[in-house]
Structure 1
Amino acid sequence: MTNKYAVVLAAGQGTRMKSKLYKVLHPVCGKPMVQHVVDQLKELQLNELITIVGFGAEKVQDQLGEDSHYVVQEEQLGTGHAVLQADHILAGKKGTTVVACGDTPLLTKDTLKKMMDHHESTQAKATILTAHAENPHGYGRVIRGGNGQVERIVEQKDASLDEQAVQEINTGTYCFDNEFLFEALKGVSNDNSQGEYYLPDVIQILQDKDETVSAYQTPEFSESLGVNDRVALAQAEKLMKQHINERHMRNGVTVVDPDHTYIGPDVKIGQDVIVYPGSVIEGNTAIEDDAVIGPHSTVKDCYIGEDTVVKQSVATNSHIGARVNIGPFAHIRPESSLGDDVKVGNFVEIKKAIFGKGSKASHLSYIGDAEVGSGVNIGCGTITVNYDGQHKFMTTIEDDAFIGCNSNLIAPVTVGKGAYVAAGSTINEDVPAEALSIARSRQTNKEGYVSKLNSNKKE
């Protein structure tokens, strides 16, 4: 079995982005561009993946973590020079090496695999990933000979009129025989107007040695898009959003208005889920069959069970069971867990809380740092008072308890199983099981008070 390697070029500063954020870390559909590229390459079952970093090296490493080895390109002297930085890791190893740019987030694993398969089947020493461009202006043209093999790559500024009419363009992604790649890189010159070492010069060196250079043309021109400025970033976002939404729709998801629905690349959605407009679903979210999301909901890093509805609400890093009703205008904050058949109504905030099966907080409540059992009813305006200015404390509400409206539960406190808390109570001591706790001032009516008050004003 052939060894497989990859080199990701991610050392450029990206000045045209006009941003403090390093170029390849700009997100497309919620994920940094370079992470998109690395995730697709990882699907090829690589022996080694090396990322060439320069500006913003530490932040790129923080993002990719252990997904890659890293080599620093101290001076940005061109793409050929960048790949050569991996010489001490890859030189002399047998196998196939993919070279891809960290600012090409639309590249897919399917295209990369087909390019590698084509490369190996043609026994080429280099294979260029190409695409058909209706308007090829600005791209390097791929000139093929009569046998279909690549004769040369001609840049726009150097192309004749006939060559400018060629619509097959170089995407900047390549496959190489690894040993030949690093041997040829040593012969690349910087004798050009920029004084840089260009990776495409390897193609000419291989051809001069009568080695086979082939090309694989992807049917998707969009995969060639390299992001160098904010305009291209928006184009990449639009194209990826379209691809993601179409994939889910073909898998049985109803996306009511795809132009105004934003789903991240790693999101998993079951069949017969309905996603309404204005919804944003991000991160490692998984949504089971028959759920309804939106309109105008934001869900990130959540598990959502079947038949659950999240309407005009926000949920983050939480586990949400089946047949749960959330919203409108609810906020499920991180580390919350809602059991099956739970109801979280309008203007309810849940934070780091567990709700058992069938429990309800229907409106206008804050439940934070709490363990709520099954069958609990939490009345309107209830607050778990969890913070004393220095520390957070837990509130425990056991099964079948009933919390009356406008109650304050001052943690740490436990409301026992089946207990009742009277409306308007401030509870700062544990409530025994099946007890009724009333913690409020006795009502006093001062009759005639208003008349006396008004007469005093007239005087």
Structure 2
Amino acid sequence: MRAGGGQGLAVVVMAAGQGTRMRSRLPKVLHEAAGETLVGHVLAAVAPLGPERVVVIVRHGAERVRAALAGAPLVCVDQGPRDGTGAAVAAARSELEGTFDTLLVLNGDAPLLRPESLARLLEVQRAGGAGMSILTYEVDDPSGLGRVRRDATGAVEAIVEERDATADERRIREVNPGTYAFDARVWSLLGRVGDDNAAGEYYLTDVVAEYRAAALGVRAVLGDDETRLLVGVNDRAQLARAEALLRERTRARWLAEGVTMHAPDTTSIDAGVRLARDVVLEDGVLLRGACEVGEGARIGAYAVLRDCTVAPGAQVAPHTVATGKRVE
């Protein structure tokens, strides 16, 4: 057992929001981008960090979210009647108190987060000297996002939600995407946060003031991944943008791994697809679900494969449409 009574890393993923701007009966975090749900992308970014406990906070569409995550190594906890991100994290207290040294908190609608960015945040948090660390991004258009206000020394002074921001604060371009690391004192400090704000909600961001008042320190880590281009998904236009960015990321990854694509801009590869070296993808290939393509295989133009296995060296004819097949 480590100092403070914890045992490593715990994670809270906030997935309780209704997502009204999606105009959908489906819970926002269950909408898909690049073949995976939004919350699935977030959980995939967390997995390489090796968390000992993962809690997903649910409320709107809770049963559908629970069903979608059934079998995953996590616990779903209902947020309860109180509104706001602070209330969401507080709901995990009974599951997590006394079980961690570091608590990582993320939004469930941030599919572009990379494990490397989260690892840097944790490294800064664990280096000591701060009770709380925040992943921040500088963006061209900060509209709708919480602003990171710094003091004269450059230290984080506050995170101000847009509806509560002054005109000067709204001009700040450094924003808060909702990704934090806390030490084990977060529970006692979170208990001091109230709902005296324009929304009448319990803001997790208000715990910054509590950490500063306790002289525990708050650090910021400036992120440099694609999240700076899309902090979160709140409507269908942002979902389409996430889809495009994720597919571009996936293509770049497989090109770097030794896959040939005749027309990358027309090639679409889901997050769950696995490709070996020297695979050739002709124009317009769509690979969906959990396809596996062996070394040296060639997929003909405009083929659409879902959950298929293609043997090493196999040839898939142009315009093939197949689901769950094995191609020798």
Question: TM-score scaled to structure 2, two decimals?
Answer: 0.91
Matches within 5 A, 1:103-118: 103-118=109-124
**Pairwise mapping of residues 25-44 of structure 1 onto structure 2 (< 5 A)?**
25-44=30-49
Q: Does the C-alpha gap of structure 1 residues 196 and 163 become closer, same or farther in structure 2, counting only changes over 3 Å?
A: closer
* C-alpha spacing 1:200/1:286, structure 2 compared with 1 (3 Å): same
Q: How large is the RMSD of aligned CA atoms in angstroms?
A: 1.9
Aligned residue identity for 1:207: R
Letter aligned with residue 56 of structure 1: G
In structure 2, what is the equivalent of residue 183 of structure 1?
188
SS of the residue 2:49 aligns to: coil
> Are the counterparts in 1 of residues 129 and 216 from structure 2 also a CA contact under 8 Å?
no
Q: What SS is found at the alignment partner of 1:49?
A: strand
| Code of the aligned partner of 1:318 | K
Structure with max Cα Rg = 1
Q: Secondary structure at the match of 2:41?
A: helix
Residue 24 of structure 2 corresponds to: 19
Q: Name the amino acid aligned to 2:77.
A: V
1:315 to 311, 322, 328: 322
For CA contacts below 8 A with separation 6 or more, give which structure has more relative contact order: 2
Deviation at 1:277, TM superposition (A): 2.9
Q: As a proportion of its length, which structure holds more strand?
A: 1
Cα distance, 1:54 vs structure 2: 1.0
Is residue 288–residue 305 contact of structure 2 (8 Å, CA) maintained in 1?
yes
Contact 2:157 2:208 in 1 (8 A): no
User: 1:273·1:291 contact (CA, 8 Å) conserved in 2?
Assistant: yes
After TM superposition, the structure 1 stretch with the greater mean CA deviation from structure 2, 81-90 or 270-279, is 270-279
Q: Residues 293-329 of structure 1, C-alpha deviation per residue, up to 9 Å, x if partnerless?
A: 23211222222112212221122223333xxxxxxxx
2:94 paired with 1:80: no
CA distance in 2, matches of 1:76, 1:161: 29
Separation in 2, partners of 1:191, 1:169: 22
Structure 2 residue corresponding to 1:47, chosen from 35, 47, 52: 52
The match for 2:99 is 93
Paired residue type of 1:293: I
Q: 1:90, CA displacement in angstroms?
A: 1.3
Letter of the aligned partner of 1:81 in structure 2? A
Residue ranges of structure 1 left out of the alignment (5+ in a row):
322-459
Letter aligned with residue 274 of structure 1: V
Question: 1:164 and 1:55, CA in 2 relative to 1: closer, same or farther beyond 3 A?
Answer: closer
Are 1:253 and 2:253 an aligned pair? no
Distance in 2 (CA, whole Å) between partners of 1:76 and 1:299 is 45
1:196 positional shift:
1.0
After the TM superposition, which residues 66-77 of structure 1 pair with which residues of structure 2 at under 5 Å, given as runs?
A: 66-67=71-72, 68-75=74-81, 77=83
- Partner of residue 130 from structure 1, selected from 128, 136, 157: 136
Once the two structures are TM-superposed, the CA of residue 130 in structure 1 deviates from its matched residue by 0.4
Aligned 8 A contact 2:110 2:227 in 1 = no
SS at structure 2 position matched to 1:80: helix
Pick the aligned partner of 2:289 from 260, 283, 286: 283
42, 59, 82: which is aligned to 2:64?
Answer: 59
C-alpha contact 2:34 2:246 (8 A) present in aligned 1: yes
More helix by share: 2
Q: 2:172 aligns with which of 161, 166, 187?
A: 166
- Name the CA shift for 1:163/1:193 in 2 (closer, same or farther; >3 Å): closer
- For 2:200, the equivalent position in structure 1 comes to 195
Residue number in structure 1 paired with 2:278 = 272
Matched to 1:176, the amino acid is F
Give the Å deviation of 1:158.
4.3
Task: Give the whole-Å Cα distance in 1 for the aligned partners of 2:300 and 2:139.
Answer: 38
8 A Cα contact 1:34 1:102, kept in partner: yes
Matched, 1:156 2:175: no
Cα drift, residue 218 of structure 1: 0.9
1:201 partner SS: helix
Conserved? CA contact 1:14–1:22, under 8 Å: yes
8 Å CA contact 1:274, 1:291 repeated in 2: yes
CA contact (8 A) 1:132 1:221 kept: no
1:122 Cα offset (Å): 3.7
Q: 2:304 aligns with which of 298, 317, 321?
A: 298
Deviations 1:340-391 (A, max 9, x none): xxxxxxxxxxxxxxxxxxxxxxxxxxxxxxxxxxxxxxxxxxxxxxxxxxxx
237 and 54 in structure 1: CA distance in 2 versus 1, 3 angstrom threshold: same
Q: Is the 8 A contact 2:164 2:197 kept in 1?
A: no
Counterpart of 1:143?
A: 149
How many Å separate the matches in 1 of 2:27 and 2:313? 41
Alpha-carbon distance, 1:159 to partner: 4.0
Quick one: which amino acid aligns to residue 14 of structure 1?
G
* Residue number in structure 2 paired with 1:348: none
1:161–1:57: structure 2 CA closer, same or farther, 3 Å change rule?
closer
Give CA-to-partner distance per residue, 1:408-458, whole Å, 9 cap, x none.
xxxxxxxxxxxxxxxxxxxxxxxxxxxxxxxxxxxxxxxxxxxxxxxxxxx
**TM, length-normalised to structure 1:** 0.66
Does structure 1 residue 215 correspond to structure 2 residue 190? no
CA shift, 1:221, in A, is 4.5
Q: C-alpha offsets along residues 125-172 of structure 1, whole Å, 9 cap, x if unaligned?
A: 111110121222332222234544312223334445554443221111
Matched, 1:233 2:227: no
Secondary structure of 2:123's match?
helix
